[in-house]
Amino acid sequence: MPTATVPPTMRASLLIAPEQLEIREIATPEPRPGDVLVRIEQVGLCGSDVHFFTHGRVGSLVVAEPLILGHEAAGVIAAVGAGVPEQRLGERVAIEPQRHCRECSYCLDGRYNLCESMEFASAPPVHGAFAEYMSVPAMFAHPIPDVMTFEQAALAEPLSVGLAAVRKVPVTENRVLVAGGGPIGVLTAAAARAHGAREVVLTDPIATRRAHARALGATTAVGPDQLGDHIGGGFEVFVDTSGVPAAIDAGLQALRPGGNAVMVGMGHDRIDLDLFRVQSYELHLHGLFRYVRTWPTAIDLIDRGVVTVDPLISDRTDLGGLPQAMRRNGDPEVMKILINPQQ
């Protein structure tokens, strides 16, 4: 295993039980064949991390043993596994936190996000990035420009969700409605504008989040109670990132006949659905699960300044500050907290 100086052990924050994180010294992972070992420099805190922290589970994914959370990560390649060129040592990368089998029908069809044997970082039992090192497939350690910060590179992950959403449906020259002004919603609005939407309206009850949305590319950002003033002839595309049933219903009502809705938010397992509206308007509902081949585009958009992610960073901390960051993540003024595992 060609390597730089990699210690045999590393510090990692492990979720032991709901609301209980512990920093432990554990063995540094060794990269599998085809993997690289990344020295993690920055990790974004995601809502799913907070859900695991609070409840010990997300849907059917249950934390049964100590787990390292975190999947919005960037760093430097510190070692390479068998079959990976040594020239990659020292490369600055953004991490796509997936490991697919490359053999099932979904992988062979290019829909590897639906891989039957997917290992996703921070989804139990697969460890994530709130640690000093992480082993990932070399193909998913995406090189970043020298001028790009690790913070910016880590935010390629939430931008990738937005890109995956707007790739699901035709947004070019269309009116797009986005519900939810968290990081995913704001970056989905930015991705829609980058893909040529002629208008993007975002709804969120929090004024500061609406301001972020307007700054990053939304044409208009309004409170949910003001949406009626902006429907006009209706929207061709609706993307829900809120998971709020009322927001989903309002978005479906705002679609033109034949419109497309993309479900991104995961607030409830089941909701009431206006089936008559869906049928009589011939609406198309699309589920979205993670992403496929989005990192090169996300990195390029950030690098060229088409999408600016720095304004989304609310705070920075280290592994020791992670419990407090988890508890603060739901505050109205918080957009994205970055964690540096090396501090």
Assign residue 70 a region (left: φ > 0; alpha: ψ between -120 and 50; beta: otherwise). left
Give the C-alpha separation, 191 to 188, whole Å. Answer: 5
pLDDT tens per residue across span 26-47: 999 999 999 999 999 999 999 9
Burial class (CB in 10 A: 0-12, 13-18, 19+), 173: exposed
Whether residue 282 is predicted with pLDDT greater than 90 in this model: the reply is yes
Whether residue 244 is predicted with pLDDT greater than 50 in this model: the reply is yes
What end-to-end distance do the CA atoms of the chain give, in Å? Answer: 27
How does the average pLDDT of the chain come out, rounded? Answer: 96
207's CB contacts (< 8 A; 6+ apart) are none
**Which pLDDT score, from 0 to 100, does residue 4 have?**
54
Q: Which two tokens mark 183?
A: 């990081």
- The answer to whether 192 and 171 have CB atoms below 8 angstroms apart is yes
User: For 132-148, what is the mean pLDDT?
Assistant: 98
pLDDT tens per residue across span 194-218: 999 999 999 999 999 999 999 999 9
**Which pLDDT score, from 0 to 100, does residue 86 have?**
96
**Which pLDDT score, from 0 to 100, does residue 1 have?**
46
SS3 of residue 41 by DSSP: strand
- Relative to beta strand 92-95, strand 141-143 is antiparallel
pLDDT tens per residue across span 66-95: 999 999 999 999 999 999 999 999 999 999
Give the C-alpha separation, 70 to 50, whole Å. Answer: 10
**Which pLDDT score, from 0 to 100, does residue 332 have?**
87
Q: Identify whether 125 is preceded by a cis peptide bond (ω within 30 of 0).
A: yes
Give the C-alpha separation, 192 to 216, whole Å. Answer: 11
Give the C-alpha separation, 48 to 69, whole Å. Answer: 9
172's CB contacts (< 8 A; 6+ apart) are 195, 196, 197
**Which pLDDT score, from 0 to 100, does residue 60 have?**
86
Q: CB count, 10 Å around CB of 129?
A: 32
Amino acid in position 284? H
Residue with the bigger pLDDT between 1 and 128: it is: 128
Q: For the chain, how long is the longest CA-to-CA vector?
A: 63
Q: Which two tokens mark 111?
A: 């829909």
User: For 123-145, what is the mean pLDDT?
Assistant: 98
DSSP state of 321: G
pLDDT classification of 5: cutoffs 50, 70, 90? confident
pLDDT tens per residue across span 169-190: 999 999 999 999 999 999 999 9
Domains of the chain: 9-155+309-340 (3.90.180.10), 162-287 (3.40.50.720)
**Which pLDDT score, from 0 to 100, does residue 146 have?**
96
